[in-house]
Amino acid sequence: MHLKNPLTLQNKGYVFFDSETMKTFISFLMNQAELIAAHKKGESSYVFRAAENVDEVILDYPRTIQPLKKFFLPPRETLLNFNLEENDFDVPDMETKKRIFFGVHSYELQAIHILDYNFKRGNPESNYLKKREESLFIGISYTPDEYHFGKSVGLEIEKTEGMCLYIEPMEAGYYMFVVDDNGLKLLTEFSSETVALKTETIKPQPKEFQKKIKYHYNRLPQVFDKVYDSSVWKKVSEKCVGCGTCNLLCPTCYCFDVRDEIELDTINGKRERFWDGCMLNTFAEAAGGENFRDKLHNRTRHRLFRKFKYITEHSGELSCVGCGRCTSFCPANISIIDIINNLIEEVSLNS
Amino acid sequence: MSKPKVAFFDFTSCEGCQLNKLNFENDLLDMLKLVDIVEFREAMDDTADEYDIAFIEGSISSPTCVERIHDIRRRTKILVALGQCAVSGGINAMKNDQPSDWVREEVYGDDKYLFPSLPAMPVRAVVKVDYEVRGCPMSAPEYLHVLKSLVLGRKPEIFDHAVCVECKLKENECVLDKGMFCLGPVTRAGCDALCPSFGQYCTGCRGPVSNINKNGTIEMLKAHGFSVTEAMKRMKLFNTNDMEKSISWGNR
């Protein structure tokens, strides 16, 4: 099986921004639309949220807690309000305002691309697709930390597909690459004159990933053909406590549960959906209380197979984007890279 | 449709969960439109012979408790355990780890033989429990969910996933990552991650998820710098029965 080759650094040229110009540009964008960017939260964490103040926008960060999916598939979302007395319901109005996502990493875009694929197939997920409209993405390069492994899943830092602009920080400021016409339009509106794009080749400092999967990403589907009965799953489940953090923070996990909650008048209520995950106890529980994945090792296996096999078989792309969230936020220090490398080791020993 | 007859009973506990119900000032009157409260020692004098729903607070810790809970079970259609003492034995169960003689002497001194005592047990160790509302004190939203569901004849949906989930939904910074202690990864959700959302850590007051990986939990806490002794001690604070004697108390 051959996976699709992801495009890399497609651009129409670039301009140079010093730090002050960058701030002015961010202010300009904030006037154009709602600007979503990384912000500091707590002692040492980052989150995406709407920018209110240019100085609070963070351009250099390893990863946010929740991925971008929260803007299109919110952690909690009211699907409908109902009235039992009148036997009636209404669907809450959905906002479709223009949003610019600023300073996002290539894996976030790839994750959105995978979510789009899953939500467009079969019965299109209208709430998600509606919220996806009118989104512009401005990417930025990042320095891989001990958890990133984009390259191992075929995803370079400079992959610009889906972005309109791409930012490469440098010593005295930023290179602003124009990726598509939307990006060019933003730059033209910003400078209110014709933008002279430079096209001389520049070589940004190459950035090494510290974590690597032993095999080329093309071979991973073959590995997953052979590891259903691997002993690795049980070994992982000795450490795993089943908290579900890896699912909930995964940028390509999209499972949710739905619950009806009624008010104290026992007449009015709402149907709410919220993120769910296949690592959680009751995820695979069916009517009658039967749970067909009641053991942690079955659930871990299912999670990995959803990333490297089940969806990959029809999408032709891996569903893991190498952001490292599942590993960096795991309270039990379980590393997805270690799991995959252990599987590879077992496969190569047995072949 | 006549309103369901509801009663509240307290066993070995601080009665905080019961008192908590009287604190629902915004919802109390609406709640009274749904049900007839026929027995509630903390709030009224009346008593009744039969109930549709009996809410039980506190653990079973003496022969008298055993008699009373059997009597209540016979007279109620639905029985709900309210709060961690009733659900798991709660803090009371810490005594189960100590020699019974010593515990009784500490409490009653020379009169210890006048007060027969049992290990603190969850209600479900003695009679059939239909639903459980966890927490110390019980979670108010969960209690209202159970009450509304029962009034409507629906089965209440009680979460069996970790507090971690609620922290992640709220995008809280991880308490363990900050170097604090936390039992959120293995404690049952339903509190909306109240403590971690306000700068505290999860003490495990809602008890463990149903198939807790105990060794994994201890390894996890060790990796965050806690000794095995400390990890066990903290895990047992609200959940001695779950951690030590889950089999003998008939864990579901």
ipTM comes to: 0.93
pLDDT, position A207: 87
Q: Is A60 on the interface with B (CB under 8 A)?
A: no
Listed ranges A62-76, A190-204, B35-49; the one with the highest mean pLDDT: A62-76
The architecture CATH gives domain B5-152: 3-Layer(aba) Sandwich (3.40)
Q: What average pLDDT does the structure give for chain A? A: 93
B118 within 8 A of B60, measured Cβ to Cβ: yes
Given a cut of 70, whether residue A8 has pLDDT beyond it is no
In a domain, A192, yes or no: yes
Domain that holds residue A99: 14-350
User: Who among B152, B171, B178 is closest to A66 (CB)?
Assistant: B171
Q: Which residues of A touch B177 (CB under 8 A)?
A: 44-45, 329
pLDDT, position A221: 92
Q: What is the mean pLDDT of residues A18-23?
A: 94
Tokens representing B248 are: 């003998």
Given a cut of 80, whether residue A217 has pLDDT beyond it is yes
pLDDT, position A7: 45
CA–CA distances in Å: residue B2 to residues A41, A246, A337, B52, B125: 51, 48, 60, 11, 32
pLDDT, position B251: 42
In a domain, A8, yes or no: no
* DSSP character string of A41-93: ETTTEEEEEE-S-GGG-BSS-S--SS-GGGGTS-SEEEEEEEETTTTEEEPPP
Q: Is A40 on the interface with B (CB under 8 A)?
A: no
Q: What is the mean pLDDT of residues A252-278?
A: 95
Q: Is A313 on the interface with B (CB under 8 A)?
A: no
In a domain, A198, yes or no: yes
Q: Is B220 on the interface with A (CB under 8 A)?
A: yes
Domain count, chain A: 1
Q: What average pLDDT does the structure give for chain B? A: 90
CA distance B18 to B6: 13
Q: Is A45 on the interface with B (CB under 8 A)?
A: yes
Cα-based angle A181, A15, A67 (whole degrees, multiple of 5) = 65
pLDDT tier for residue B246 given thresholds of 50, 70 and 90:
very low
Given a cut of 50, whether residue A292 has pLDDT beyond it is yes
CA distance B97 to A11: 68
The structural domains of chain B, with segments of one domain joined by +, span: 5-152, 163-244
pLDDT, position B245: 57
Given a cut of 90, whether residue B39 has pLDDT beyond it is no
In a domain, A6, yes or no: no
Given a cut of 70, whether residue A1 has pLDDT beyond it is no
Tokens representing A60 are: 């250099």
CA distance B121 to B62: 9
Q: What is the mean pLDDT of residues A81-88?
A: 96
Percent of chain B with pLDDT over 90: 73
Note the pTM of the prediction, 2 decimals. Answer: 0.93
pLDDT, position B248: 45
pLDDT, position B41: 79
pLDDT tens digits for B186-243? 999 999 999 999 999 999 999 999 989 999 999 999 999 999 999 999 999 999 988 8
CA distance, residue B25 to nearest chain A CA (Å): 13
pLDDT, position B250: 41
Given a cut of 70, whether residue A9 has pLDDT beyond it is no
Percent of chain A with pLDDT over 90: 86
Q: Is B178 on the interface with A (CB under 8 A)?
A: yes
User: Who among B30, B165, B209 is closest to A248 (CB)?
Assistant: B165
pLDDT, position A3: 57
Tokens representing A280 are: 């959680």
- Mutation to test the A interface, candidates B169, B172, B200, B202, most A Cβ within 10 Å: B169
pLDDT tens digits for A170-185? 888 999 999 999 999 9
CA distance B183 to B208: 9
Neighbours of A61 (CB within 10 A): 18
Greater confidence, A202 or A52?
Answer: A52
pLDDT, position A4: 59
B235 within 8 A of B203, measured Cβ to Cβ: no
pLDDT tens digits for A293-305? 999 999 999 999 9
pLDDT tens digits for B127-173? 999 999 999 999 888 999 999 999 999 999 999 999 999 999 999 99
pLDDT tens digits for A222-254? 999 999 999 999 999 999 999 999 999 999 999
Give the DSSP H/E element, type plus range, for residue A220.
helix A220-225
A322 Cβ contact partners less than 8 Å away, ≥ 6 residues apart: A107, A148, A149, A150, A151, A152, A153, A155
Q: Which residues of B touch A236 (CB under 8 A)?
A: none
